[in-house]
Structure 1
């Protein structure tokens, strides 16, 4: 077995590597759980048949008797591509949205898979953390996940012309490596075909740049007719239809089709505003700007669950869908907890790389959720939720609108505002909103539901529920004993989902759920704290106050108190989040109830939903997430010789799941590097895609 010391990203928190799935039979807890499943299968033979995948998990077949139909996409007509050839280059022509259509859709989107679950089932799942009655026969199945690539061919003649004209006009300089092409996309797609062969109903989306036709001024487009860049080796008409026995359909989408003007929550936007904005941002050569528009992908075309990739990122082994997402546990985030990002509103970091955008994004999160340092997202295939990205773009709309004003990365066109890092913000927004949902549910929904005021008596009862003593004003607890991680595999099997662990980590990626949000909130982003110390006066207080005020205080003003309150409450049970939830309510949820808490928390409390418990349950389910761990390498390619050594190291690491090859080459080393990479790519993925020319 390859050692994990070769990882660039070590397992979260430096914890020992979890046991592989083949150790299942040696684990008494898991063995007992599987025997329970077998017993339930025998006694319920008229209702369900569970096939235990004793062979390779790649061949896992979920139950069929009570399968729910796959979540369908809305009926949206996607026009077939009609290629246009200019010279010897193929383009994908399209009509860009009019300014009136280039305004963000402000409706907060539900998560489709959650809409298919009953309130009763969801309540039991969130409160207990166990997939049991009434959920036991409600198979959710493997998640439908789309791949989304952001790609640019910097060698395209029209793209080069537009880029050079804008650089000259703005007197800005940028790195050639931002636009260099090593034919990585072709092989990244080949790797994805092998890695995602078992994914149901998947579609691949390639976001490419677009240019005006040659007779239109590149710096001031006066026509909506655009030419989208196309991988010249791909038959886009063939790829559009996909192959049920090969790779999924491939949809091309282009920058000008995605850009939508967002604004401060509550702002009214007009077609004139959008027109003025579009004139300032197009053409765009800024990857941060393009990524800031991923939340605007059409939900009628793109799945709720996506994996975002750059063309230099590769899936080295087969992955089950649960390696990136499940309906039960949410998206699987991969972080580096040893590389923490602090808020920086100064803009002093290098804008040509990621760090200025990361510091600015962390600052924005601090302003909304409280100050802390947050882990960097591993620079590889990243799981994201499209409805939650869209929600993020509404919550921070003015900053998402400012990002594309920098037409080159780091060019900084707006005073005191810097580009958002969409991947970083999208991930930590989900984590922070889940923490916010826990605190709202316990403080406002549970204890403040009657009058909205927490008097001294209620405060003391809250303190007692946290574990405080009759006379003590300080509370010290050791690490909670939870069974969440032990329950993951059984819960997924019971729900008809293939678990992420592998029998043979050289044949299928071995993905561990190192942290699950069903355990509340992890202030260190990988495990429950080893010790919890809370001061009654500082965190809970003995004087009466509005529940909403206490909620805002421990959420943002004193986030350490909020963290410790959550950690203390987790001690109440072995699994589930029942302790946080308001009591059951006979009132039915109203169609007019919001599905989220406000984007900006007002000074005074908004009205409670008719059924606070049902609202809290769906809120916690909406922001459920996992912190995951798999064998991953990020390889900065600084020279041909260094790249050769690194690729040989990658070949030796047989359990390597994800790889990124980042171009940091000098301009003089291109030909040798191209030859080296092409030879290695062909050795790893020699089989052509169905629609390669």
Structure 2
């Protein structure tokens, strides 16, 4: 080669060699995009994997040396030493501005002050039941519980949590339906203790062996369709942030295969908004829904029931110990012990609007029952069922406040007295005739009400709740008025509006002496009369509420409330800062003290304002929304069921339940194709594919 050509060629070769060395180095020290931690060298071909450090690494691939790529899943890492979350506490519930509460609740006058929209989150519970770690853990737990063979409970757990890819499409459906007003999305997942790993070790220049033991670590299940995150990264779609939260982080410290145990800890999800929509992974939102389809400041929480399916209460359930009905009957027994016996309607399996402060109050009212449920590894016949308990707890609390307000706060007063003067005043308020003896029975008819007349909800809220019709409001009293004879279903709600006075038969007969008398004594305690009316003889309380709603006029609940003129001069009309009104927290009505001095030890504050704040706290609405429960069993029936969902354009919510009895793979394919067609658009936090 000519000497003049050597120098340019050398100048060309040297950069190429340098670039090649840099590329090889970068490859050997590449960040593994699937696992999120630095891979310094290929993993050993035998022995346990090196333990990851949850302080510096977000994810891990497990098992470390799979036979096939499909066997390896991504998991989130978290410290085992993480302390339990704070326990429940009494907190205020977001309601109307203080100046609006009296005119709205007492007289039905809408609030003219604009309040900001209620911040609201989405919350899912999800477990990948086909995860090998989940299956092996369930089998071991079943054997430890003395189930030999372990087939029955392991199969039950597998069916309940079998992974069909529903969560991805449930999230997509919710984002398409309510993403415009949702704040955050939370997915509560299962987790496992990571023990099958070895501490990291290395030798220095003197051949001394050093070992680094990272903190004890847990692996939380991770939806595989979420894109990998680097340290400090977040899953965000538009203005909605998504978080994955483990059972360990919400305080479930036993490895459980029991959805009721997981739900019992939902009040401890960190960062959850005061109002949230709770979904299982097989719940789908099919149409756009407004926040007022789930909760509002004026009408409160929105509940949906199947009124032709009633749940009895039982401490010795006749139902299977692994089924939903055992938990339903036990939970209704809990409500009976606290609020008086009655059957209550089944809660429909669809997305549910919930209040975090009231979930915490429910937990505080039944602490032992919820604590026990969180430790039940498998479903039992003594599980506290949050999804059933919550709406009925709110409804019963509101009923309790109505009766307490009239009997204790309005009539009994500070002295907790109930004698001739209180009975005469009750007789007068209830419409007893002048000069009549107050021990006679009173026939009670339903009064005309305009709370939900056509167009009024839209005028009050400024919008019509989408795909939702309000059928009953707590502003009209109590929905489950005990029928005079056995009924298979209730409630039935009369159409709002006017009807000719006196043409309807009596709704009930108030046995005044039985319900409100002193039982032969000159006087008794007002709080004792309240307990009799509210819990011991619930038909008395139901009829009294019906009567007082009628005496309140066409709107409002004024007849229940302490009178404004009864407030002492110089009394503050607003409640002390930091005071959250609440009635006793107890699991039985017998153990609770309802005396005014116990509940309201603030003589310089307004008792009327206190009572109104209680009513506002438990405000609710019962609504109708087009919903359907779809059961997938065989490939043919699944096609028919899903086609029916598509055909009904009015359907707003659906639960698509895995009840597969044959050809599981074919049913999963049918379902996957239906979900993929219905919600084809990817979200920003996805990496593609549900697995």
What TM-score range do you get, normalising by the shorter chain?
0.7 to 0.9
CA contact (8 A) 1:295 1:390 kept: yes
CA contact (8 A) 1:97 1:256 kept: no
Report the secondary structure of 1:484's partner residue. coil
1:614 aligned residue: 609
CA contact (8 A) 1:158 1:214 kept: no
How many aligned residue pairs are there?
560
1:424 aligned residue: 388
Q: What's the CA shift for 1:689?
A: 1.8
Q: What's the CA shift for 1:492?
A: 5.4
Cα offsets for 1:166-223 (capped at 9, x unmatched): 2222243321311211101111111111111331x52111000011115179xxxx97
CA contact (8 A) 2:235 2:242 kept: yes
TM-score (norm. length: structure 1): 0.77
Cα distance change, pair 675–559 in 1 and its aligned pair in 2 (3 A): same
The partner residue of 2:545 within 549, 558, 566 is 566
Report the secondary structure of 1:383's partner residue. strand
Q: What's the CA shift for 1:96?
A: 4.2
2:378 aligned residue: 408
Paired residues for 1:319-330 under 5 Å: 319-330=289-300
Distance (Å, rounded) in 2 between the aligned partners of 1:684 and 1:94 = 35
1:478 is the counterpart of 2:445: yes
2:236 aligned residue: 242
Q: What's the CA shift for 1:81?
A: 8.6
The range that moved more, 641-650 or 147-156, is: 641-650
Q: What's the CA shift for 1:102?
A: 2.6
User: Which has the higher Rg, Structure 1 or Structure 2?
Assistant: 2
1:372 is the counterpart of 2:342: yes
Distance (Å, rounded) in 1 between the aligned partners of 2:57 and 2:452 = 46
Q: What's the CA shift for 1:395?
A: 0.7
Distance (Å, rounded) in 2 between the aligned partners of 1:80 and 1:343 = 50
Paired residues for 1:63-82 under 5 Å: 82=58
Q: What's the CA shift for 1:80?
A: 11
1:595 aligned residue: 581
Distance (Å, rounded) in 1 between the aligned partners of 2:446 and 2:674 = 47
Cα offsets for 1:567-619 (capped at 9, x unmatched): 00011211111111112235233357552011135357251343211111110
The partner residue of 2:399 within 414, 435, 453 is 435
Distance (Å, rounded) in 1 between the aligned partners of 2:410 and 2:447 = 22
1:296 is the counterpart of 2:268: yes
Cα offsets for 1:617-648 (capped at 9, x unmatched): 11000000111101110112222222211111
2:132 aligned residue: 157
CA contact (8 A) 1:208 1:229 kept: yes
2:557 aligned residue: 577
CA contact (8 A) 1:142 1:322 kept: no
Q: What's the CA shift for 1:142?
A: 3.5
The partner residue of 1:90 within 56, 74, 78 is 74
Cα distance change, pair 644–106 in 1 and its aligned pair in 2 (3 A): closer
Q: What's the CA shift for 1:157?
A: 2.3
1:125 is the counterpart of 2:104: yes
Paired residues for 1:134-145 under 5 Å: 135-136=111-112, 138-145=113-120
Distance (Å, rounded) in 1 between the aligned partners of 2:244 and 2:399 = 37
Distance (Å, rounded) in 1 between the aligned partners of 2:220 and 2:531 = 47
Distance (Å, rounded) in 1 between the aligned partners of 2:610 and 2:216 = 43
The partner residue of 1:669 within 638, 645, 663 is 663
Paired residues for 1:52-451 under 5 Å: 82-86=58-62, 87=64, 88-96=72-80, 98=82, 101-102=83-84, 105-111=87-93, 113-114=94-95, 117-131=96-110, 135-136=111-112, 138-172=113-147, 173-174=152-153, 175=156, 176-199=158-181, 201-215=182-196, 224-235=216-227, 237=229, 240-244=234-238, 248-259=240-251, 278=253, 282-298=254-270, 301-410=271-380, 418-451=382-415
The partner residue of 2:678 within 681, 684, 690 is 684
CA contact (8 A) 2:170 2:284 kept: yes
* Larger relative contact order, structure 1 or 2 (CA cutoff 8 Å, min sep 6): 1
Q: What's the CA shift for 1:490?
A: 4.1
Cα distance change, pair 567–256 in 1 and its aligned pair in 2 (3 A): same
CA contact (8 A) 1:526 1:627 kept: no
Cα offsets for 1:221-270 (capped at 9, x unmatched): x975211100111115399341326xx2111001011126xxxxxxxxxx
Unaligned runs of 5+ in 2: 1-54, 65-71, 199-213, 481-489, 495-504
1:653 is the counterpart of 2:648: yes
Q: What's the CA shift for 1:530?
A: 6.6
Cα distance change, pair 494–362 in 1 and its aligned pair in 2 (3 A): closer
Distance (Å, rounded) in 2 between the aligned partners of 1:193 and 1:84 = 28
CA contact (8 A) 1:90 1:232 kept: yes
Distance (Å, rounded) in 1 between the aligned partners of 2:513 and 2:56 = 65
Paired residues for 1:496-645 under 5 Å: 497-500=462-465, 509-523=466-480, 524-527=490-493, 531-541=507-517, 544-572=523-551, 573-584=553-564, 585=567, 586-588=570-572, 589-591=575-577, 595-600=581-586, 602=592, 605=595, 607=597, 608-610=600-602, 611-645=606-640
The range that moved more, 367-376 or 637-646, is: 637-646
Cα offsets for 1:668-689 (capped at 9, x unmatched): 4211101110111122111112
Distance (Å, rounded) in 1 between the aligned partners of 2:348 and 2:417 = 43
CA contact (8 A) 1:365 1:429 kept: yes
Distance (Å, rounded) in 1 between the aligned partners of 2:293 and 2:422 = 43
Q: What's the CA shift for 1:84?
A: 2.1
Q: What's the CA shift for 1:691?
A: 2.1
The range that moved more, 223-232 or 251-260, is: 223-232
TM-score (norm. length: structure 2): 0.77
Report the secondary structure of 2:226's partner residue. coil
Cα distance change, pair 339–604 in 1 and its aligned pair in 2 (3 A): closer
Cα distance change, pair 97–617 in 1 and its aligned pair in 2 (3 A): farther
Structure 1 vs Structure 2 CA RMSD: 2.4
Report the secondary structure of 2:188's partner residue. strand
Cα distance change, pair 224–346 in 1 and its aligned pair in 2 (3 A): farther
Distance (Å, rounded) in 2 between the aligned partners of 1:355 and 1:307 = 23
CA contact (8 A) 2:169 2:675 kept: yes
Report the secondary structure of 2:237's partner residue. coil
